[in-house]
Structure 1
Amino acid sequence: MHRTVNVLVVNATGALLLQERDELAPRCPDQWGPPGGHVEEGETHEAAAYRELAEETGVVLPPGSLRRWREEVFHYTEEDRVAHYELWAGRAELTDADVACHEGRQMTFVDPAAIGGLDLWESARHFVPAFLASDAYAGLAARR
């Protein structure tokens, strides 16, 4: 089964770090979702979360900054594919100026009120609203 990790980074304003893929993306072009990607052979989901975040954004968080929020087998409806997801969440005192965009069109912190107006890729449509409604998000966003 395909193993995937997403990283849900909340900043001091309660905004969530999201990536907009560009038109050249092999999957979900021009859509939005959290940074993340494939878990490599022999790699843990946790290690992949830190690695993917660093590769895609240049942000290197200290060990222990992220906590596993959710683990789920996700069945895509738009293609015949199943993936084992782990979603890791944490708070970072960052702004857009601290984040590079090494993949896609842009990587930016998005106010939760604006996320509903974005075209999220399928798994992000499933996970992001659930995260924003969770106690985990409330706890990360409340530490102002």
Structure 2
Amino acid sequence: MVPPIISSKEIVKAFLTEVRSGKAPDQAKKYLAETVLAHQLNSEKKTTVTRTPENYAAHVRELLTQYGNYTFEITKLLADGDKVYARWKQSGHHLTNLDGYNATGKPLNEIASAVYRVKNGKIMEYWIQMDRFGFEQQLQQQQEN
């Protein structure tokens, strides 16, 4: 029997729901290619990080340390061929020093989006953007209160 073909959209949704959500970081190898190009799209300086399933899992574990058991909500998911756009909201708490701001334990939200390129059932590359201004504003307000 031939296994069912899973769409790029289904792969990205499962990856976000299982791995990026913090629920099962070590499942990254199930969704990511051995080498993934992660393009960080910042207005002032674009960078590309090479990710492996192992270091992506470590990245998610670091997020869990920084924000605790955060909630992760996919707010938009669109697909066009091998590319999938995802937008999400992550809600946790400020538990460690972030960008020079001392931990407050207060709620901290992140809004971000990424376009993932999927090939042969694995995420090969992605382009990610985050609302860094809004994030910075939250950190500043926490320090003032």
Q: TM-score range by the shorter chain?
A: 0.3 to 0.5
TM-score, length-scaled by structure 1: 0.33
Q: Which has the higher contact order (CA 8 A, sep 6+)?
A: 1
Q: TM-score w.r.t. structure 2 length? A: 0.33
Q: Which has the larger radius of gyration?
A: 2
The structure that is helix-richer by fraction is 2
